[in-house]
A = this chain, B = another copy of it.
């Protein structure tokens, strides 16, 4: 099998990488595998060093703190909590909470449990636990029947392709979405549910691989700052190198791109980076029993070594170019089936004429030995591991071409 989906984008350097097999065979690591600590109260003696050489070695620009978590949903849930805590502390002028705060919160009431909100985007996906789900808007089946919060939802730009032919239209579309973001912030403040944070993916993945320009994100970051909201970039799917940079937001070219960056999947452990001021002011506010898993951190440290040693980000950039060129060619060849080829690095996608054809292509490709995934209403997303080389691209394109030819 040629796996171009990699367990929903969560296998960073392929299956059974020799470096990882060696690592897990090392008797020195046995203790980490069998004695999982409660990291929040009894971290292993060398844990700060381990975090420094793994997660902190790839910290996003402007961030020197990281909080590990067990999965992507917990990462976002706790990132939202960090933003709420930060926002309320600002509102209180960093004074201690009063009795009314402490008693009302015990029964889920304001002011202790305040009517704050997180602004998210239509088409976004940030997880499926109740807090995350209130910011997820990709498919109805994810949300149906689950109680939610009255939080604002902005439109995400719907770009027209090819980009170079629609420069003006796309700029207008992005401006429209940004305007709507500001309107919503004002409206929710007036409603008494101020926006404490804005959460967005650098590329909406589950929602259909929707891209926006670096300019859009830079402006959005400024809007967040202007209105006193934290800016949370969710890199659960985009993080870890698949766009050709370790973090997709690096393509925006900013020194101070975000207040919080969450991750999981290819990082093998969940968690989030944050600026100093987003550190909760007291212990046990951001807390749970495990708070991650040092055995996953062991694996991550070795994955990062492999990425550096084998220059995998360059590999991704190279493979990504071949993949995009191949998709452009196929799209020209099968205009009735394919459109909107798009991507960054190997984090690519293409639209299929309709949902039924998409699903049939996915099955036919699988039967020919290529594992792919869908996203959005009718897109196919490509999520190979970072070791996906140009010859893999050609293998894939040949098989995909066969599938399309047979379909026609």
Contacts and interface: CB of A to CB of B under 8 A. Distances in A.
Interface of A: 7-8, 10-11, 15-17, 20-21, 24-25, 27, 30-31, 33-38, 41-42, 70-74, 77-78, 80-81, 84-85, 87-89, 97, 101-103, 105-109, 112-117, 122, 127-131, 134, 137, 139-151, 153, 264-265, 268, 282, 284-285, 287-290, 299
| Copies held by the complex | 2
Nearest to A134: B108
Given A105-B140, A153-B107, A10 B31 contact: no
Contacts of A146: 81, 84-85, 105, 113
Given A85-B145, A114-B147, A30 B24 contact: yes
Mostly helix, strand, loop or mixed at chain A's interface? loop
A108 B148 contact: yes
A249 B141 CA distance: 33
Given A34-B16, A71-B70, A129 B284 contact: no
Nearest to A37: B7
Contact of A285 (B41, B42, B141): B141
Report the 10 A-B pairs with minimum CB-CB distance, sorted nearest first.
Answer: A130-B131, A108-B148, A113-B148, A77-B129, A88-B145, A7-B38, A20-B34, A102-B140, A105-B143, A70-B71
A265 B285 contact: no
Contacts of A142: 284-285
A289 B72 contact: yes
